[in-house]
């Protein structure tokens, strides 16, 4: 799975975790945790947050790519995922249409949602219809109901064979103070860890539908479904950090 496809895939899949919130309680069983996450996912209509992302290679033991920005999500199937670091890069999802836009390079890739995601990966979460138990086998991470830091980690394994081969195991880290999902982790077929952290989370704030509509300016070159250009001419991955640094810092490609 290459970097750009993997990044789009994780972005779409992460939407299943974003609005999940429940009233803080202790000593919850796995079923109780899943029930509360599902119930609150069902009632959440909008979500906004700041995010930070790292893609870590186990072979090199360091971050290959880092990013940060903000996300806005509105049911059904509306999303703006804006990278502000390492460069301006925006994903706009409007129903079944996904724009992958690099403003600085004046390039945009236009995809259908099916083109952007791996076949048979659950898409219902994008449209507010996802059911955790139907799509995933769920367990406490490493069998622990509570981690040493007090958080709750859940392992989610897709029930569909093809989705399981593409995704492996997803890990959600849940904050027991408000039961918001604060981290999402996914390991790709090459063993690279794609890790997202969420902060400044707000649920059910008013978001105008116009924020999720976009048309390319005249000076932007469009690839994909509305262009005669080959889809293989996909925009390149964001530049990778240049210098090695300690964990959490930038590293060389």
Q: Quick check: 26 and 174 in contact, CB under 8 A?
A: no
Task: Identify which of 28, 5, 10, 30 has the alpha carbon closest to the alpha carbon of residue 184.
Answer: 10
- The pLDDT value recorded for residue 190 is 75
- The pLDDT value recorded for residue 15 is 54
**The 181-187 sheet, strands edge to edge:** 136-140, 152-158, 170-174, 181-187, 193-203, 46-57, 62-74, 78-85, 89-94, 97-102, 107-112, 221-224
- The pLDDT value recorded for residue 175 is 83
* CA gyration radius, the chain: 18
- The pLDDT value recorded for residue 243 is 32
- The pLDDT value recorded for residue 11 is 57
- The pLDDT value recorded for residue 244 is 31
Query: Is CATH 2.50.20.10 correct for 3-224?
Result: yes
CA distances from 96 to 67, 216, 236 (A): 25, 17, 23
- The pLDDT value recorded for residue 216 is 93
- The pLDDT value recorded for residue 167 is 77
Q: Name the residue ranges covered by the structural domains of the chain.
A: 3-224
HSE-CB of 1 using CA atoms within 13 angstroms: 24
- The pLDDT value recorded for residue 185 is 92
For the chain, list residues with pLDDT below 70: 1-26, 118-122, 126, 226-253
């Amino acid at each position: 799975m290459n970097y750009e496809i993997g990044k789009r895939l994780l972005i779409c899949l992460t939407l299943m975790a974003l609005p999940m919130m429940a009233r803080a309680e202790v000593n919850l069983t796995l079923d109780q945790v899943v029930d509360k996450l599902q119930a609150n996912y069902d009632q959440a209509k909008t979500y906004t947050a700041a995010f930070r992302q790292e893609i870590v290679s186990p072979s090199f033991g360091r971050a290959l790519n880092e990013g940060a920005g903000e996300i806005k999500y509105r049911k059904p199937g509306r999303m703006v995922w804006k990278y502000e670091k390492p460069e301006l890069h925006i994903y706009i999802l409007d129903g079944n249409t996904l724009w992958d836009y690099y403003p600085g390079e004046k390039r945009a890739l236009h995809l259908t949602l099916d083109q952007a995601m791996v076949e048979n990966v659950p898409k219902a979460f994008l449209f507010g219809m996802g059911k955790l138990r139907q799509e995933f086998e769920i367990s406490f991470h490493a069998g622990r109901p509570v981690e040493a830091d007090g958080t709750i980690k859940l392992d989610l394994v897709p029930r569909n064979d093809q989705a399981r081969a593409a995704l492996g195991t997803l890990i959600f880290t849940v904050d027991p103070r408000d039961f918001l999902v604060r981290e999402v982790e996914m390991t790709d077929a090459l063993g690279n860890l794609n890790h997202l952290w969420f902060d400044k989370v707000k649920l059910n704030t008013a978001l105008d539908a116009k924020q999720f509509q976009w048309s390319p300016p005249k000076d932007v070159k469009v690839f994909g479904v509305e262009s005669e250009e080959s889809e293989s001419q996909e925009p390149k991955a964001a530049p990778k950090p240049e210098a090695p640094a300690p964990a959490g810092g930038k590293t060389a490609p």
